[in-house]
């Protein structure tokens, strides 16, 4: 009897977790695959040296304009921090597939807030390792 109770509770926990994950992604009407993309390859302006990446006066908030393709949903900007550097990547949601028509994509300003101020740490692209050009507000 006790094993059945434990199994039932475990099943309920798994079902609740699945519903929670589905609810968080409910803004996206089609099934999608998650993947990561380079921030440098998605910066909206053609020339990344234009420094469209800004570190706010608080030295923790990073904003950038990025572009995405038609079968992607708006990506999320994610920062990974170490004592020496902050790496940025875009978390993509790709909805391409058979019999799915893609729209034009888009451009938007994305923001991420660091746990610690950027300070003297390097700001780099997580996939290429290249420095991300940026300005301080």
Show pLDDT as tens, one digit a residue, over the chain (137 residues): 666 656 555 555 445 444 444 444 455 555 555 666 666 666 644 554 445 789 999 999 999 888 777 777 778 899 999 999 999 998 887 766 666 666 667 788 899 999 999 999 999 999 889 999 888 88
Residue 63 falls inside a structural domain: yes
Task: Give me the sign of the Cα torsion angle 86, 65, 51, 112.
Answer: negative
Residue 11: inside a domain: no
Name the residue range of residue 66's domain.
Answer: 31-136
The answer to whether position 58 is within a domain reads: yes
Report the number of distinct structural domains present in the chain.
Answer: 1
Backbone torsion region of residue 59, taken as left when φ is above 0, otherwise alpha when ψ lies between -120 and 50, otherwise beta:
left
Domain assignment present for residue 16? The answer is no
Q: Assess if residue 17 is contained within a domain.
A: no
Q: Is residue 20 part of a domain?
A: no
């Amino acid at each position: 009897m006790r094993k059945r109770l434990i199994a039932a509770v475990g099943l309920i926990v798994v079902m609740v977790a699945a519903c929670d994950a589905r609810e968080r992604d409910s803004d996206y009407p089609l099934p999608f695959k998650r993947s990561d993309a380079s921030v440098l390859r998605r910066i909206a302006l053609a020339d990344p040296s234009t420094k469209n990446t800004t570190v706010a006066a608080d030295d923790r908030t990073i904003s950038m304009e990025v572009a995405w393709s038609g079968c992607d949903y708006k990506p999320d900007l994610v920062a990974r921090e170490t004592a020496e550097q902050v790496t940025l990547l875009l978390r993509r949601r790709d909805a391409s597939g058979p019999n799915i028509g893609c729209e034009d994509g888009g451009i938007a300003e994305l923001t991420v807030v660091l746990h610690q101020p950027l300070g003297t740490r390097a700001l780099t692209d997580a996939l290429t390792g290249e420095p991300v050009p940026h300005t301080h507000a």
